[in-house]
Amino acid sequence: MPMRLSGLMSGMDTESIISQLVEARKTKVTKAVKAQKSLKFKQDAWKDLNKKIVNLYNKSLTQMRFEGSYVKKVTKVSNSNIVSVITGEGAMNSVQNLEVKELAKSGFLTGGKLQLWDTDKDEAKAGTVTGSTKLSELGYTGDKGTLELKVGDETKRITVDGNSTVSNFVSVLRSAGVNANFDEGNGRIYISSKTSGKDANFELYGVDELGFDALDALKLTYEDKDGKLEAHYTSISTRDNDKTIEDREAARQKSYQQQWEKYRNNRAGLVEGFSSDMIDKLNGQLSSIAGFQLSYDADDGVKLLRGGKTYSLSDIDKETWGESAWDKITIAINKTQSELAEIQKDENASEADKKAALDLEKSLNGWVANEKNLKAVEDNLVTDAKGKVQLDADGKVQLSDDVKKSIKDTADKEVKDANDMLKKLEDMKNNSSEAAIKSEGSDAVILLNGEEYTSEKNTFEINGLTLTVSAKTNGDPVTITTEDDTNGIYDMIKNFFKEYNAVINEMDKYYNADAAKGYDPLTDEEKAAMSDSQIEEWENKIKDAILRKDSTLSTFSGVMKQIMMEGVEVNGKKMYLSNFGIGTLSYFSAPDNERNAYHIDGDPDDENTANNADKLKSMIANDPDTVVSFFTQLSQKLSDKMFDMMKAKEGYSSAMTVYDDKKMQKDYDDYTAKIKDLEKKLADYEDKWYAKFAAMETALAKMQNNASAVTSLLGG
């Protein structure tokens, strides 16, 4: 930028002169800026209007097109305190009779009030029970006690001891499948089924005496009113225990057989997964303890080499020396693992060697875990002096005497515990000492038209109706009446016209707006000279008139109005909206820009037509087929035409758009480029004049210097 002198030599106000020269040229920039702002106002107006048009198309108009939208039912009940009804699409017009026999309930156990206990004095003591209170502080003196929680058909065992806390116990109950809570304020434990219904009911009982004592300390023992607990214990007490032991031994033997075979079969796959480096290390160990080696080939995998022959790992068990081969591989793996661990501990080993050793050791973890599991199974089986599993004549594993004794002892103990529990129940019954109150979960039972239905909830879905019962009828049946929902259809049509009117009125308002002559968009300089309210008023004047006499607006709204006036043919007869008591107001009575809005005769919300006879509602009630046929056809015609006019036009508009949004955006971007170019030219023009005036000032300065020199020579 040239140096800008301010008339130092000429005495001229160069800034003012240049400013006036530039201002004359600046009008081109200003016009372009104003034109771009005007286009932005137009874009914004169309975006808002287009959103409303598309919303009308997608929602109420789309709903009106389909016959299914007019299939509306409503259900009334004679006693809403007994039942509420949701009417589905498949509901039939009918009058039905309902009796509610039972309501669905959740199983619920209200525990007794917990009490701190002095076991030394065998008496209660003062203090508050909290979630961290231990069972030993509640008077429980035993070691481990076993409980069972049965929810539906699933039973889970719970073990407690003197150190178990109230909170721990409640948490275990929740995990086992029920809702449980300890209310510290009331000092009670509350338990309920997670869902209502008899199938979700629960039972909580002691498996042994200590389990019963734990429940007693927790105040959760309850009277066996329906005999479920007695039946449970009796079934154990009176069973054929020899048969039970035999069945359990067979099941245990089958389980161990499967596990033993599984872990043995895993060996080959685990070795085949070893890397070549691991195979090399194992061979280093095997060379000193076995008469075979392992070979690794990227294609063939791992093989066993012995006596000049090659064996597949899966075939080792078929050889007479197979067991000893696996034993020796195990020894080699154990030694290799120790060797790798030593490398990791070696202070002189490099970090790279330590990491490599660690990675190799990790690759052995699968083998080690498998052998540990195999050993755990074999410890329960018959083995020889060397620890080799002995098979019976059928090639099956055999249970060790210790396992058989454990099974027998467990079964015998269950019978003893069951007999002990039966005595406890008898004592509770005789002494009425139950500390908790239990209510059973039950299903809801109703009679609908004499037919019985049950549900685990208080909700029934029957033939398109969803019934939710809340009280028994007690001999006073409820009448359920399902019929066509005249009001629902009426409201749907009314809502469509409400949305249609809002859109058409806004389009008319834009199109018929007063001209904003003399109002152009404001520049930043112009805004600086005005107040905020003045700016808002000025711009609103422009925005209100931005779509005045717009051809696109005129075409689109004209098509909508034409279709609404055309009517459709129903059963061979041409019908119009007027046949249904729907029409526009007279030209002189309609407010400005609302002359194309439709009003429904008898609409209580419309002050213009509220007093007219309600023809639409009458036709819905008496001739619904005609109503459906007319409005579905009319809506389809309007929908098809709107869709056609909102199709995308290459280079001009996007899909589902009424106006030329793409063209407007391109014009807006072109203005941006044009304004930038004009501003650059204006700046260049300004710089040119500053340069000229600077040159003039420089020339004047030289002239003055020369004149001074001449004067000096002449003795001036």
pLDDT of residue 714: 67
Stretch among 431-435, 501-505, 628-632, 644-648 having the lowest mean pLDDT: 431-435
Q: What is the dihedral of CA 713, 714, 715, 716, to 10 degrees?
A: -110
Sequence-distant (≥ 6) Cβ neighbours of residue 448 within 8 angstroms: 96, 97, 98, 460, 462, 467
DSSP three-state, residue 273: coil
pLDDT band at 427 (very low <50, low <70, confident <90, very high): confident
- Exposed / middle / buried, residue 637 (Cβ in 10 Å: 0-12, 13-18, 19+): middle
Phi, psi of 497 (to 5 degrees): -65, -30
Residue type, 660: D
> Scanning the structure block, which residue is given the tokens 């500053």?
690
- CB distance 482 to 83 below 8 Å: no
**Count of other CB atoms within 10 angstroms of residue 566:** 13
> Scanning the structure block, which residue is given the tokens 């639409």?
616
| Average pLDDT taken over every residue of the chain | 89
- Each as own residue / partner, the long-range contacts of residues 488-494 (CB below 8 Å, 24 or more positions apart, any chain) are 488/72, 488/74, 489/70, 489/72, 489/620, 489/624, 489/627, 490/616, 490/617, 490/620, 492/60, 492/63, 492/64, 492/69, 492/70, 492/72, 493/64, 493/600, 493/616, 493/631, 494/600, 494/603
The rounded distance, in Å, linking the Cα atoms of 29 and 37 is 12
Phi, psi of 606 (to 5 degrees): -115, 110
CA distances from 478 to 96, 443, 446, 454, 481 (A): 8, 20, 11, 17, 10
Tokens at residue 101, please? Answer: 């026999």
459-462/188-193 β-pairing = unpaired
- CB distance 493 to 630 below 8 Å: no
Give the whole-number percent of the chain exceeding pLDDT 70.
94
pLDDT of residue 306: 84
DSSP labels for 31-66?
A: HHHHHHHHHHHHHHHHHHHHHHHHHHIIIIIHHHH-
CA distances from 18 to 30, 31, 42 (A): 18, 21, 36
The size of the chain, in residues, is: 716
The rounded distance, in Å, linking the Cα atoms of 607 and 590 is 12
- CB distance 229 to 425 below 8 Å: yes
pLDDT of residue 60: 93
HSE-up (13 A, CA, CB side) for residue 359 = 10
Q: Which of 327, 289, 628 shows the shortest CA–CA distance to 486?
A: 628
Q: Which of 2, 8, 3 shows the shortest CA–CA distance to 697?
A: 8
Crossing angle between the packed helical segments 241-272 and 322-345, to the nearest 10 degrees: 60
Tokens at residue 166, please? Answer: 């109230």
Q: Which of 210, 224, 74 shows the shortest CA–CA distance to 146?
A: 210
Stretch among 96-105, 256-265, 414-423, 632-641 having the lowest mean pLDDT: 414-423
- CB distance 211 to 142 below 8 Å: no
Q: What is the mean pLDDT of residues 209-232?
A: 88
Q: Which of 676, 545, 521 shows the shortest CA–CA distance to 36?
A: 521
pLDDT band at 2 (very low <50, low <70, confident <90, very high): very low
Q: What is the mean pLDDT of residues 359-381?
A: 92
Highest mean pLDDT among 236-240, 294-298, 433-437: 236-240
The dihedral through the CA atoms of 418, 419, 425, 427 has a sign that is negative
Q: What is the mean pLDDT of residues 469-494?
A: 94
Q: Which of 193, 204, 642, 210 shows the shortest CA–CA distance to 441?
A: 193
Which residues are bridge partners to 179 per DSSP?
Answer: 192
DSSP labels for 575-598?
A: E-GGGGTEEEPPTTTSPTT-TT-E
H or E element, residue 178:
strand 178-183
pLDDT of residue 97: 97
Phi, psi of 505 (to 5 degrees): -65, -40
Angle at 153 between CA 151 and CA 154, to 5 degrees: 60
Is the pLDDT higher at 58 or at 297?
A: 58
- CB distance 59 to 645 below 8 Å: no
**Count of other CB atoms within 10 angstroms of residue 244:** 18
Q: What is the pLDDT of residues 526-539, one digit of tens each?
A: 889 999 999 999 98
> Scanning the structure block, which residue is given the tokens 């008139």?
545
- CB distance 100 to 472 below 8 Å: yes
Q: What is the mean pLDDT of residues 345-365?
A: 90
Stretch among 175-179, 311-315, 527-531, 681-685 having the lowest mean pLDDT: 681-685
Q: What is the pLDDT of residues 316-352, one digit of tens each?
A: 766 666 667 888 888 899 999 999 999 999 989 899 9
Q: Which of 1, 44, 35 shows the shortest CA–CA distance to 674?
A: 35
Which residues are bridge partners to 205 per DSSP?
Answer: 148
- CB distance 492 to 64 below 8 Å: yes
pLDDT of residue 229: 85
> Scanning the structure block, which residue is given the tokens 């971007």?
669
pLDDT of residue 78: 96
pLDDT of residue 1 exceeding 50: no
Stretch among 61-65, 402-406, 516-520 having the lowest mean pLDDT: 516-520
CA distances from 667 to 29, 458, 533, 657, 660 (A): 16, 64, 30, 17, 11
pLDDT of residue 79: 96
pLDDT of residue 3 exceeding 50: no
Stretch among 251-260, 558-567, 679-688 having the lowest mean pLDDT: 679-688
pLDDT of residue 436: 87
The rounded distance, in Å, linking the Cα atoms of 623 and 634 is 17
The rounded distance, in Å, linking the Cα atoms of 526 and 488 is 55
pLDDT of residue 715: 60
Q: What is the mean pLDDT of residues 26-49?
A: 89
DSSP conformational letter for 388: P
Sequence-distant (≥ 6) Cβ neighbours of residue 124 within 8 angstroms: 115, 116, 117, 118
| Helix ranges (DSSP H) in 238-396 | 241-272, 276-289, 322-345, 351-362, 365-378
Tokens at residue 302, please? Answer: 């791992």
Which residues are bridge partners to 461 per DSSP?
Answer: 466
- CB distance 100 to 460 below 8 Å: no
Which residues are bridge partners to 460 per DSSP?
Answer: 467
pLDDT of residue 675: 83
Angle at 63 between CA 62 and CA 68, to 5 degrees: 130
Which residues are bridge partners to 468 per DSSP?
Answer: 84, 459
DSSP conformational letter for 296: E
Residue ranges per structural domain of the chain: 45-69+487-662, 75-104+443-482, 108-241+411-439, 243-405
